[in-house]
Amino acid sequence: MKGHFTKRGCKCPPNNCTCNKKWSFVIDIGKDPKTGERRQHTKGGFKTKQEAEAVAASLITEVNQGTFIKESDILFKEWANEWLPLYIERIAPKPGTIRLREYNIKKLLPYFVHLKLKNINEEMYQSALNDLKDQGFARTTIEGVHTTAKMIFKMAVSKRILKIDPTTNAYIKKDEQIIIESDEEELPVYFEKEELALFLKAVYEHGLFMDVLIFITLSYTGMRVGELVALKWKDIDFKKYSIRITKTYYNPKNNTKEYLLVPPKTKKSRRKIMIDDVVIEAFRKHKEEQETMITRFGKFYNDNGFLFANLNRHPGYPVLIKFIESRMARILNKVDLNSDLTPHSLRHTHTSLLAEAKVALEQIMDRLGHSNDQITKNVYLHVTQEMKKEASQKFGELMRSLR
């Protein structure tokens, strides 16, 4: 294999070199498979010729074995911008996932933006993770950044523009262990059954157009707000008293016209929910009212079959999630209830009331579209634990009555 060793810039006599110039080498690494032209590899910075010869010998062995990788000079920022479209093409992720990857890349850029991909080593990458931790970012956030980085570097290795993946041995520092005096799980805020009855009573008395249907549906089904907003009339089976969940609403910019309908959160989220007479009757009443409105608007109504559609600006487009949040906040201001409650609280409320009705956890998870959700399990266990206490108390009262 052709090549040579030299001291660049050295003007000393051949056998009497007194300068401090570094040694470098240039060797042939075969022909370019596309052009057929000779390729060469150059490396310098060696203190002695022996060091240069050792590295050159190792490189020649890699070439002969077919394991040599000529690393690219591409910058991290440039490769990240190339990686994202390739990732989208391969994985076809949901819009929310793409947005998350973009967010994670932005978190990595301050550390690597001006660095060549091949110059980022394990120490640099680990330092970046440590710094994110020291800045107080949540572990889940750092895990997301780490996951994205691993995919970026892994693809660079598979494309043979990078030899060593610096993320391979990286880790996220653990939080310092502290003593927790209470063994109770932190529970989300939700309505007790009497509070839910009070809230729904206020909806009937003070609610605006669609409020009754919105909050009855959320309360009686436990569906996610995004699933509610995405509902179309074809998803309602009036004969079988069921709602079919096949999609969810995505609109991060809260622009009424720029929404997307995307697959549900998980495969388990695709489901059919059986519903009560109260909900079906509310749907029937709303359908009649909506059809009257559509006739009144005529060609100005963008009719795509949405159940919860705007009637003011942009008639026919689905309502925003923040619309439902503001409607709920308005009702809560009318009654003496916790103002921290949100539409999602109705999902946790549905869990608690099903548990109180002695519905099995597996059935609840199926109804909610969950395969594994710790919050749902915590609510269920909390409610059933209280029921167990009540059973114990009743048994005690029964035994005392026999004395």
Phi/psi of residue 250, nearest 5 degrees: -130, 120
Angle 54-55-60 from CA coordinates, rounded to 5°: 100
Determine the Cα–Cα distance for residues 205 and 215; give it in Å rounded to an integer.
Answer: 13
Same domain for 113 and 16 = no
Using the 3D structure, point to which of 158, 182, 204 is the last residue of a domain. 158
Domain ranges, residue 33 = 3-65
Q: In a 3-state reduction of DSSP, which class is residue 113?
A: coil
- Same-domain status, 136 and 232: no
- The reply to whether 336 and 197 lie within a common domain is yes
Q: Which residues pair with 245 in a beta bridge?
A: 271
pLDDT of residue 36: 72
Q: What's the CA gap between 320 and 140, in Å, rounded? A: 27
Give the count of beta carbons closer than 10 Å to the beta carbon of residue 229.
25
Which helix H or strand E contains 29, and what residues bound it? Answer: strand 23-31
Dist. CA 225–CA 186, nearest whole Å:
23
Residues 340 and 383 in one domain: yes
Q: What is the CATH number of the domain that holds 112?
A: 1.10.150.130
Cα separation, 217 vs 198, whole angstroms: 16
Examine residue 398 and state whether it is found in any structural domain, yes or no.
no
State pTM to two decimals: 0.68
Distance CA 208, CA 289 (A): 14
Domains: count for the chain: 3
Pair (56, 104) in one structural domain: no
Question: Is residue 151 domain-resident?
Answer: yes
pLDDT at residue 184 in the model: 54
pLDDT digits (tens, 9 = 90+) for 16-37: 777 878 888 887 777 766 677 7
pLDDT (tens digit per residue) in 184-232:
556 788 898 899 999 999 999 999 999 999 999 999 999 999 999 999 9
- The separation between the first and the last C-alpha atoms of the chain, rounded to the nearest angstrom, is 102
Q: Is residue 394 part of a domain?
A: no
User: Do 124 and 234 belong to one domain?
Assistant: no
Domain contains 229: yes
Distance, in Å, from the CA atom of 156 to the CA atom of 190, rounded to the nearest integer, reads 47
372-379 long-range contacts, CB within 8 A, separation 24+ = 375/187, 375/188, 375/348, 376/348, 376/351, 378/185, 378/186, 378/187, 379/187, 379/188, 379/190, 379/348, 379/351, 379/352, 379/355
For the chain, the average pLDDT equals 88
In a domain, 31, yes or no: yes
Domain-embedded: residue 218: yes
Looking at the predicted structure, is the pLDDT value of residue 142 above 90?
Answer: yes
Q: Would you say residue 340 has pLDDT above 80?
A: yes
Q: Which residues of 259-286 are buried (b: 16+ CB within 10 A; e: fewer)?
A: bebbebbeeebebebebeeebbebbeeb
Shared-domain flag, residues 271 and 214: yes
Adjacent-strand bridge partners of 6: 24
pLDDT in tens, 223-272: 999 999 999 999 999 999 999 999 999 998 899 999 999 998 788 899 99
Report whether 231 contacts 318 (CB < 8 A).
no
